[in-house]
Amino acid sequence: MLGAVSRSTNQPPATIAWLALCAALVFGACGGAGQAATPAGPTAPAVGPPAPAVDSLAAQVSVSQASALRDAGAFVLDVREPHEWAAGHIPDATLIPLGQLAGRLADVPHDRTIVVVCRSGNRSAEGRDILRRAGLAAVTSMSGGMNDWAAAGLPVTIGP
């Protein structure tokens, strides 16, 4: 009988009820027969990785983590000055100097993961904070900056 609670488990009825409720919530959250079907048909191509939840993206990532995010399609934002950029930058990165960032938020995608980069990691943390205050959640900064990127032997583009 489904509604019966066995007294032979040495568990108080409240504990068993609590466990049953937790199990129902877990299994219900996983989907099942009542879950709506995904409509068939073409979908828009992905531009990059979807923006993760706020707590799933660290405020700061290592050079190797930044490289993996870039390879997965993250938007790399370099907040250095143009002369620093010309001396060497991450391929396919976008330059918006830190002093211009607050006024150029429209140039930053709001639906992608963003990795902010600078020379050593200080300005990128400030750039990350500007973007987060503007409402972008999927933003991180790369520790060590271009100094550590180049030292790790990762690709660098020279010139404008």
Label residue 118 exposed, middle or buried (CB < 10 Å: 0-12, 13-18, 19+).
buried
Contacts of 76 (CB under 8 A, 6+ apart): 66, 70, 90, 92, 93, 94, 114, 115, 117
Helix residue ranges, H only, 95-139: 98-101, 122-133
- Report the C-alpha gap between 147 and 160 in whole angstroms: 18
CA angle 25, 30, 34 (to 5 degrees): 90
Active site residue 22: no
128 touches 54 (CB < 8 A): no
Asked whether the beta carbons of 136 and 75 are under 8 A apart, the reply is no
* Catalytic-labelled residue, pool 98, 114, 118, 146: 118
Would you please indicate which residues are annotated as catalytic (active-site) residues?
Answer: 118
